[in-house]
Structure 1
Amino acid sequence: MKLKVRIITPNGLFVDDKEYDSAYIQTTDGDMTILPMHAPIVSTLKIGTVTLADGSNKEHIHVHRGLVKIDANGIKIITERLYLVDDSGIRKETPAHL
């Protein structure tokens, strides 16, 4: 089973139900690794990096605060601003969506 991820910005859907093995998020309640079938949570995001992992492939997305809703089916994130970063946190070219 995979984790469905949806990330929404004022510009539209950045990630639209793409499936990942896990997600690492930084919330005001603490940093969390999310796996499929996670317990439901609603929290606010800190300024930080969301890491989405699918096998050995990882996407690092810097978010500027926002909201996250986690349930057994996946993760939904709403943020005002985001951009991709590399493993060291350096900003990368960011497409309109993944």
Structure 2
Amino acid sequence: MKRWIMTLGLLASASLMAADGAALYQKCLSCHGANAEKKALGKSEVIANWSVEKNVAALKGYKDGTYGGPMKALMKGQVANYSDQEIQAVSEYITGLKN
């Protein structure tokens, strides 16, 4: 019984700590649009139809400085504090947006 309660507690904690892609995307929508339909500041690609994998690769690349064009420095600052879990969550959210 005690083991079951501990397991339940761990699962509850993990779900509370799970990244919220919609909340993470809030700082993106002013440049990328509510549905990721805009070219950010007229310089980026529209990210609305990107796959989760492409979004993850781009965001991780921005974070470590290996990806990006004219918006590289701006985007690096935007994702610098994102964990891998948060990058995954926001990427899944973006891919799920409807245009």
Same fold per superposition (TM over 0.5): no
Larger radius of gyration: 2
Structure 2 length-normalised TM: 0.27
Higher helix share: 2
Structure number with the higher strand fraction is 1
Higher relative contact order (CA 8 A, sep 6+): 2
